Amino acid sequence: MAKPEAWRLDASSYPIHHTVNTRFQDLDPNGHLNNVAFAALFEHGRVRLNLDIRDWRDRPADERTMVVVVTINYLGEGHYPDDVIVCTGTGKIGGSSWEIVQALFQNGRCIATCDSVIAARKGDGPNPHSPEIREALARIEAKPAI
Amino acid sequence: MAKPEAWRLDASSYPIHHTVNTRFQDLDPNGHLNNVAFAALFEHGRVRLNLDIRDWRDRPADERTMVVVVTINYLGEGHYPDDVIVCTGTGKIGGSSWEIVQALFQNGRCIATCDSVIAARKGDGPNPHSPEIREALARIEAKPAI
Amino acid sequence: MAKPEAWRLDASSYPIHHTVNTRFQDLDPNGHLNNVAFAALFEHGRVRLNLDIRDWRDRPADERTMVVVVTINYLGEGHYPDDVIVCTGTGKIGGSSWEIVQALFQNGRCIATCDSVIAARKGDGPNPHSPEIREALARIEAKPAI
Amino acid sequence: MAKPEAWRLDASSYPIHHTVNTRFQDLDPNGHLNNVAFAALFEHGRVRLNLDIRDWRDRPADERTMVVVVTINYLGEGHYPDDVIVCTGTGKIGGSSWEIVQALFQNGRCIATCDSVIAARKGDGPNPHSPEIREALARIEAKPAI
């Protein structure tokens, strides 16, 4: 598994930033934020992005989104009770899927990156993006800030 | 179990307020914040209070605090992704223990109260409060705002 | 808050026993099972009891159950990765509510008890127990084993 | 991200099997086991493997293990309250790191795979495997069953 590229460690590469509290429950016996807590924090950013594109609570019953794959690179330790910033944007957009790329910052350090693939499903098959959805996803692409 | 008194549902009764994000992970199959998520949110407020009194990470190895009992009254449903406010203060202060009383608010509604008893231990016995600790605990008492 | 009575610390007082794994995620910085993890373990026993009485997934959309109050008495430390046994039964049965009483055991020691009140709701009002539900709840009453 | 190879979906490819309960708390608003709950279940298997190799609680204070990267492929929905089987083994073994490969089964279906890289650290540098640790890791390699 290759290390994340440099632009992925720069908060300004991501269009969406959520400041999120850490919780005592996120700590593990080492006194650091647990790996699974990182996963929950990234999920929060992912769900918020998806909510902005389309509220899952307004969706027809036969439509849903599925997480296909999630990769988290752990780059540094996280501490309690300092807040973290979950930075989120889209990556490659497929016919009925999209990539979400993220990074987690605490006290100015990037402590993890996350790459996910989400698939839109309708019944038992894929749910191809409408032009509106595709455009909304493209508008929040993560990319080197320069 | 009696209902909480009216002053307990008033945020201004509590000296300490923490605004905390809700997380997707807090939701249960009903689409509401799960009961156990309430417990984690109250714990966050409790730990933050205890950290302000005395940082557990600076404590001698033979001293610790233990949660003795926690009661949560559930008064309303909690929603995602709205923030909650965890309001916290002390109740009765014993020789080596203290009560923490709390309430959880979301969008102006009190959705739960929580009463906990914490005990300070040293080795296998109680760890009586120093005058400084007792005073620090008393300074953040929760009480009717008038 | 009074200490639990002696019969509550005896596993044979409870008709329903679930052996449950502990998870690394249940640990806190002290290396013990976290207080909130206890709450999740008790919830598991409570939900399993409620599922046996009536599967919430088969319920009419306007019916639901609500947790009204939960009290947990913490009596000892919990360890990883040893299993725990969640012991569960009913307490007082009201017109549309019921008490669930529980205890948590690990390696033969009772490490916590839990008392909850659950309310059955239909629309915005109470959902009185049918004779069948009342009988099913009474059949799994927790009581001193003699 | 490529799909997992066929042998990775076969429980008999993995030398270590843990049967783990699902919890109500693992469910999300869709009524399925949440993605983050999968991460916690895989972590449990990973920690158990690492405990078997070397108990982290007996380790010198300047040694630790770090999770470097975790990839989870989600292949199917998980249900409550059915148990899952977390299947675990080692993959490539580096000079001071090792891969852990896993799969999650429920009711005979493989619902996810997980690939992690763990690094052993001593102070600020790598902690090269002793011959004993290397041999212990090699003994529990995951591989096609025939």
Cα separation, C3 vs C73, whole angstroms: 8
Q: What is the DSSP letter of C96?
A: S
Q: pLDDT grade, residue B141 (50/70/90)?
A: very high
Mean pLDDT, 10 residues at a time, chain C of 146 residues: 87 97 94 96 95 77 91 97 97 96 98 97 93 94 92
Q: pLDDT grade, residue A145 (50/70/90)?
A: confident
Beta-carbon contacts of residue C46 (< 8 Å; ≥ 6 apart): C67, C88, C100, C102, C116, C118
C132 within some domain: yes
Cα separation, A116 vs A11, whole angstroms: 18
D144 within some domain: no
Query: Is residue B39's pLDDT more than 90?
Result: yes
B38 within some domain: yes
Report the domain count for chain D.
1
Q: How far is A74 from chain D (nearest CA, A)?
A: 5
Which ipTM was obtained for this model? Answer: 0.95
Q: Which of residues 72-111 of B touch C (CB under 8 A)?
A: 72-74
Query: Is residue D67's pLDDT more than 90?
Result: yes
Q: Is B133 exposed, middle or buried (0-12, 13-18, 19+ CB in 10 A)?
A: middle
- Name the nearest CA neighbour of A88 among A140, A28, A14: A14
pLDDT, averaged across chain D: 93
D53 within some domain: yes
Dihedral sign computed on CA atoms, order A43, A47, A50, A56: positive
Q: How far is B33 from chain A (nearest CA, A)?
A: 14
Query: Is residue A1's pLDDT more than 60?
Result: no
A18 within some domain: yes
* The amino acid at D13: S
Among D21, D43, D51, beta carbon nearest to C21:
D21
pLDDT in tens, D41-66: 999 999 999 888 877 667 788 888 89
For C41-57, give one letter per residue: b (16+ CB within 10 A) or e: bbbbbbbbbbeebbeee
- pTM exceeds 0.90: yes
Q: What is the pLDDT of residue C98?
A: 96
Average pLDDT over residues A90-96: 97
Domain residue limits at C88: 6-139
Average pLDDT over residues A67-75: 97
C126 within some domain: yes
Instruction: List chain A residues with CB under 8 Å of C78.
Output: none
Cα separation, D84 vs D76, whole angstroms: 13
Query: Is residue B54's pLDDT more than 80?
Result: no
Cα separation, A6 vs D61, whole angstroms: 32
Instruction: List chain D residues with CB under 8 Å of C40.
Output: 23-25
Q: pLDDT grade, residue D7 (50/70/90)?
A: very high
Cα separation, B100 vs B119, whole angstroms: 11
For helices A35-53 and D35-53, give the axis angle rounded to 10 degrees.
170
A61 within some domain: yes
Kindly determine whether residue A66 and residue D72, on different chains, have CB atoms separated by under 8 Å: no
Average pLDDT over residues D86-95: 97
The verdict on D36 touching C (C-beta cutoff 8 Å) is no
Among A36, A40, A72, beta carbon nearest to D69:
A72
D145 within some domain: no
What six digits make up the tokens of B123? Answer: 């080795």
* The amino acid at D80: Y
Q: pLDDT grade, residue D119 (50/70/90)?
A: very high
The verdict on C139 touching D (C-beta cutoff 8 Å) is no
* Mutation to test the A interface, candidates D30, D32, D35, most A Cβ within 10 Å: D35
Kindly determine whether residue A25 and residue B44, on different chains, have CB atoms separated by under 8 Å: yes
Cα separation, D45 vs D140, whole angstroms: 13
Q: What is the pLDDT of residue C54?
A: 75
Matching residue, tokens 């593990």? A28
The verdict on B29 touching D (C-beta cutoff 8 Å) is yes
pLDDT in tens, B55-113: 766 778 888 889 999 999 999 999 999 999 999 999 999 999 999 999 999 999 999 99
pLDDT in tens, A3-48: 899 999 999 999 999 999 999 999 999 899 999 999 999 999 999 9
Q: What is the CATH number of the domain that holds D52?
A: 3.10.129.10
CB atoms within 10 A of CB A111: 22
Kindly determine whether residue B27 and residue D29, on different chains, have CB atoms separated by under 8 Å: yes
